[in-house]
Structure formats: C-alpha cells, structure tokens
Structure 1
C-alpha cells in the first residue's frame, strides 16, 4: 500500500482528497492546523486505511521539518505528496492591499509548499520514486483585477511545479499541478474575512466545482501507470470561461 501526505487536509479539497484516496487503499498522513478536525477525519477513515495526523502550520519551517523527520516508522515512506494547503486573503487593488494579507499568502502558498516539499524529497530521491501534486489555481495562469498578490503566489506555484519537474526528472519522481477554477469551499469565506453573505455571492447562479470533483481528479492522476505523468491540468466548471467570465445562467 502507498502512503500519501496531504497538506490542508481539514477542509475543502484536502479533506475530500483524503476520503477519495482512502477508497483506493492509500494510507494517509493528514496535515492541518485544526486538531479536532484531523481527529474526526482520522476516526472516519481509519477503518479503511492507516491514518496518521500532523498538526502544524506549513509556514512554521521548524515544525514542518521536525514533524516530518520524526514520522513513525509505519508512515516514514511517503509515496505521494499533495501540496494542497493555501489561501487567499482580501481582494484589494495593490495600492490599498494589507501587508499582513500579502505575507499570509506568500508564506502559505509559496514558502509552505517549499518547506513541505523540501522535507519530503530526500527519501523520494533515495528511493528513486515518488509523486508530487501541487494544487495551483487558474490565478496561476491569469491575472485578474484585485487579485495581484494571490495571483503572484499561484504563478509562483506554477513556476515551482515546472522547475521541480525538471530538477527531479533524473530521480524518476513524477511532478504535476492541478489548477482549478471556481470551487465552492471555505476559500471565499477566508478571502472575505468571514463575511459569509459576500462569500456566497461568488457561487450564486451557477454550479461551481466541488471539492469532490477535484479529489476525483487527484485520485485519477495518482493512480495512472508509472510511465504516465499528468504534468499540468486546468479544470473549470462548465459555466466558467476564464478568471472573470462566468455564465451565471448555467445550473
């Protein structure tokens, strides 16, 4: 049985991916900042696969490295890394952007992904095997009004994904990214700082993607034969044409 480490596993895409991978008999290391949610998910899935939880913030470099370096023996070999943890804070033009929001996006979306990858890679390289999935965004392919720093962070993920695939090619490690459009999760609640009413308007009038849709794609990607690497994938709901065009008449 393979083992997958999933960051941001307490909600949204990460949680749904854990549930989906368990159906494929993949053991799980679930990472997140909310221990009670990790415990609940572990209880739900541990009747199917082996589950270990890690409660840390990917921005905390020391916690990332010490925790991953000290995994129990049964979970010490990570076959699949899903870099899912990420966030968006605020939707302001750059001249009025909040510096704390900028730091949060760059630290979690970029540096956190790098820390976790760096901690996991030595054993993958030694084994000459592994699979890394980086969860990006259409914001990593386009720039939209007031998206400035969030888009910059996801453009960085896109570049890191490409560079990682080149650098790890000699070691037989598969690297790919999935870039979703509009997925209905806690994403907009975080972006609008807990304003549920404002967040809900983002998804009104059409059928957005669900976390389960992305989890299904991730499961497809990681279960392909070894010689197949899904390197770069963009997925939209049918109603979405790009970052700014959404047909809200399609349900």
Structure 2
C-alpha cells in the first residue's frame, strides 16, 4: 500500500516544549486513518503540522498529495459572522474564485448538491449562528465536499453531535474512501475507530504504534499510551532536528 504521507522523525514544539516528539510513521493513501491517544497526546497538533500551521516543526513530512482539505474543531470557528449556510458551503470553492471573483454556475450547482448530500435541504438561507452543533457540522462537511481534496484532515469531527448525524457524516467519509481519497481523523471513540477505520496512529506525544487498527488498539498499547502520557515531562526541551518538508 502506497503512502500519502510519510513522517520522518517529526517533532513539533511550542515555546521549545515538544507537543509531538520524534514521530516516524506512514499514512496510507486512499484509506481511512484515525489518530487517537490520551488528552494532550499531540493529536490536533499533528494535524496542524501536516497543514504547515504548527509554529515549530522539525524532521520531515513527505507528501504525495496535491490538495488538502481541513476540518478544525468547532470551538475554533467564530459563528457570529452573518453568513448563510449556502454561502458558507460555497466558500469551499474559494481557491477558484477568490475574494474578487464570482462563483460560476457549476459552483452554485455543486454547493446545492453538497447541501443536499449532508441532509440540509431547505437550510440554504439560514444564518449559521442559528444552527445546532450537529447541523453546523453538516455544513462544514458540505464545504469539504466542494474542495475536492486528495487528503481530508478532520479534527474531532463527531464531538458533541447526535448519533444520526454521526452516521450521516460517516456515509460522507465512506464516500471519500470509495473515491480513493485519503482521510485522517482525530477521534476519541475507540469502538467507532475499531468499527470504521482500518488504520490507526496511537499517540502519547511520541508514537506508540501505527498500522492496522486491530493491532494498534491492543490492551497493551493502550496501557502503554496512558503510562507515557502520565509520565511526560512538561519541561522537556525540544530536540534539534533539521526541518525539511518535501512533496
């Protein structure tokens, strides 16, 4: 199986304190991979490093993908801006028409189709600040559909949403997999990971294990991850590793 991403001795630090420490792993292409681990394990930081958004990255990230779509945690999104569901979804095509261009007919058609695909027909003109958490997450998934990315990064996509919404959004993720897109998701529900995600990275700032989910989420590995997280020295300094990002 080919790799969409290869992490080589990756370290990410904040104020010289490592949040991700010497991680080497491969993320297979055209597959669904979960990133799991205890609180503070560096899961979200790892996603941001893959996007180039982390402040201090050392080691190498080797990538074969051309287009990346990213779903942040909802807590990071300001919903007070007066914008409709339809216009929020249409922002998925921002890279095509930018701030001064106009959406084409195909963009408008695709935005409508994406809204229907996530079960929000009739919500097009609703302001996003009137939506429930689950409804807004559907909007964000619809926006991802318009981005047509090779790699989709999801940070806690099912946090605080109801089971029906989870099932509906999982159908979207399975659709991406069928289209040979690579999906990487930070998740907390290990039963969900075991059921739906063939590959897993288990983190405790350092990598505990990576590979087939059934092996990675063994009792021994989960105990090891917990012990590593509890024993981590918050004052440990980051190692000096030359930075190199390659595509």
Provide the TM-score with structure 2 as the length reference. 0.31
Structure with more of its chain in helix, by fraction: 1
Structure with more of its chain in strand, by fraction: 2
Select the structure of larger CA radius of gyration: 2
Provide the TM-score with structure 1 as the length reference. 0.31
If asked which structure has higher relative contact order (CA below 8 Å, sep 6+), I would say 2
